[in-house]
Amino acid sequence: MDAHISPSTVSGTVRAPPSKSYTHRAILAAGYSDGATVYDYLDSADTKATMRSVDAFGGTVDRSDDGPLSITGFDGTTGVPDNVIDCANSGTTMRLVTAAAALADGITVLTGDDSLRSRPQGPLLDALSALGVRAESTRANGQAPLAIKGPLTGGSVSIPGDVSSQYISALLMAGAVTDDGIEIELTTELKSAPYVDITLEVLDAFGVVAEPVGADPDSEIRSAGADGFVVEGGQQYRAEDGTYHVPGDFSSMSYLLAAGAVAAAAGTEVIVKGAQPSAQGDSAIVSILEAMGATIEWDTTAGEIRIEKSTLTGTTVDVGDTPDLLPTIALLGAIADGETVIENCAHVRLKETDRVSAMATELEKMGAKVTEEEDTLTIHGEETTLTGATVAGYHDHRIIMSLTIAGFCADGKTTVTGAEHVDVSFPNFFEAMRDLGATVELSD
């Protein structure tokens, strides 16, 4: 499916989709428990992969059209799946589920689509192997398909922190139900620390205690600067009152806020609901927009953000903890005056696609002046005038949504190919844009 975007203005009220990161973890935490009801969850291609995994391990996930997820868990005893687990395009599913599979007394095979089968899993496989689990890449290249044979009983392990924080989250979630627990030593600096905080927050909601070791006591990010983590074994997952409510997703919210900042109609604003504070590092999009000069107001009590079209000025942003914001920041930089410098972004090349290169390439097609380096992306807004073009979506939801917003401000029509992949995290993205007044046409 292709999306055809015309220059547009937007205004009105829109609700952010539920958090994909929290939804994944809540579904699996409910699976580790004897059962829970998950409200306000994100129903997307990625989260369905995690639901299938819970089913494969012996739990059941009941979905209703408009209601919550009713999950009967496998209560810490992971069964051996009857079939291969297909994680589709969901890297979060594969990594969290790989550690869950290590608990089973038998072999679990995990695979995914072409993109997922190119993403690095080696450090997690090495860690599980060091803990006595047979954990192999079937092609011996550190990538899926993966074959995992437990059971995992716990222990101490070292793992890098700068490839994917999901490795740490996976070990913490599984470690709670091992006999001996798991102590994790980080061999490199932890990147994306707020995502580990999300895991710790969900674990806490399910009555599981896990702690960072050596973290910066002055940081608002609980895991920032951590040398490692520890989770005791023999714990039970139990959600308070048997329920869990998923907060709104700031990663997805960033596109709604960006649309307001660059395309709100004169004298109007875009109001985004579902913006309750949480451990999500991507809530930094609010301060980033403020730094760029946006007129933005966040009512944290009401969970509501208001934003007007603003004259933006380039800034410098370190995305070490917020990799998913890079595409949004890049599109904002293409519209802002001056230079926008995105630093500490090498790990963003290891997502669904190389998002650094993808945004540089496609924004250049639209007329942006961009300088790409291994760990830095610079957008020269003062040398940029966006013009409509046909750009590739890379089968990547975040690239597609960012380029769509850029199209609102381009001269002429912009076509984004492969637009159906927004289903990964924001299935009704184009509908939401139309409801705000944007002109978007979809074609097969």
Binding site per annotation, positions: 20-21, 25, 91, 119, 164-166, 192, 324, 351, 355, 398
DSSP-derived 3-state class of residue 181: coil
Helix H or strand E segment including 146: strand 146-149
CA–CA dist 190, 160 (Å, integer): 8
CA Rg, the chain, in Å?
Answer: 21
Binding-site residue positions for 3-phosphoshikimate: 20-21, 25, 164-166, 192, 324, 351
Nearest alpha carbon to residue 40 among 273, 262, 254, 196: 273
- Active-site choice (86, 324, 396, 423): 324
Token pair of 325, please?
Answer: 């914001």
Q: Which residues of 208-244 are buried (b: 16+ CB within 10 A; e: fewer)?
A: bebebeebeeeeebbbbebebbbbbeebebbbeeeeb
DSSP 240-277: GGGEEEPPB-HHHHHHHHHHHHHHBPTT--EEEE----
Nearest alpha carbon to residue 189 among 209, 161, 213, 216: 161
Strands of the 414-416 sheet, one edge to the other: 390-391, 414-416, 2-5, 440-443
CA–CA dist 69, 24 (Å, integer): 12
Binding-site residue positions for phosphoenolpyruvate: 20, 91, 119, 166, 355, 398
CA–CA dist 297, 153 (Å, integer): 49
Work out the number of other CB atoms within 10 angstroms of the CB of residue 85.
25
CA–CA dist 432, 134 (Å, integer): 45
Q: Is 324 a catalytic residue?
A: yes
Residues recognised as catalytic: 324
